[in-house]
Amino acid sequence: MLTAHWLYGITGCLVVALGLRTALLHALLLHRLIGINVMGAGVFLMLIAVAYRGPGVAPDPVPHALVLTGIVVAVSATALALALARRLTAEQDDE
């Protein structure tokens, strides 16, 4: 019985729920953004947990590649969102 992948996988599910709740409910843009990032991290946890094959066995490389791509895309999407938020503030200040 491999417990590690269940442990991390279920944690992933819970982290997704936590992030999703903040992304939907929080009033502040930055917190929503962090919520979305946390949600992404939860998905990554699930994927890596699925790839895990137990100690001493080579894990599945395909989810690893997916997560690697996901991390880089997430950070650039966050940067774009932050730039948008900054522009939004500047526009509101001008009014």
Partner 1 sequence: MTTSAMLILDILMVLSLLSLAAAALATSDARRSVILFMAFGLVLALAWARLQAPDVALAEAAIGAGLSGALLLAAVGDQPRRALTGDTKPVHHHDHSNLKLMLEWTVTLLCIAVAGALAWALAQAFERAPQATLAQAVSENLATSGVSNPVTAVLLNFRAYDTLLELAVLLTAVLGIFALGPARPGYRTAGPVFGGLVRWLVPVLILAAAYLLWVGAHAPGGAFQAGATLAAAGVVLRLAGQRTVGLPQGPTLHLVIAAGVGTFLLVGLSLLVLGRPFLGYPPAWAGGLILLIETAAMLAIAATLVLAFLGGRPQPPRVNVTGGKPPAASISTLRPRSREGLSGADVPGAESHKHFSEENRQC
CB of 16 to partner 1, least distance (A): 6
Q: Is 44 one of the binding residues for partner 1 (CB under 8 A)?
A: yes
Regarding 73 and contact with partner 1 (CB under 8 A), the answer is: yes
The span from the CA of 8 to the CA of 31, in Å, is 24
Using CB under 8 A as the binding rule, whether residue 36 contacts partner 1 is answered as no
* 50 forms part of the interface with partner 1 (CB under 8 A): yes
95 binds partner 1 (CB under 8 A): no
Which CA distances in Å does 91 have to 11, 13, 77, 84, 95? Answer: 40, 38, 21, 11, 7
Which value, in Å, is the radius of gyration of the alpha carbons in the chain? Answer: 17
**Residue 47 Cβ vs partner 1, minimum distance, rounded to whole Å:** 9
Determine the Cα–Cα distance for residues 8 and 45; give it in Å rounded to an integer. 6
Q: Does 76 bind partner 1 (CB under 8 A)?
A: yes
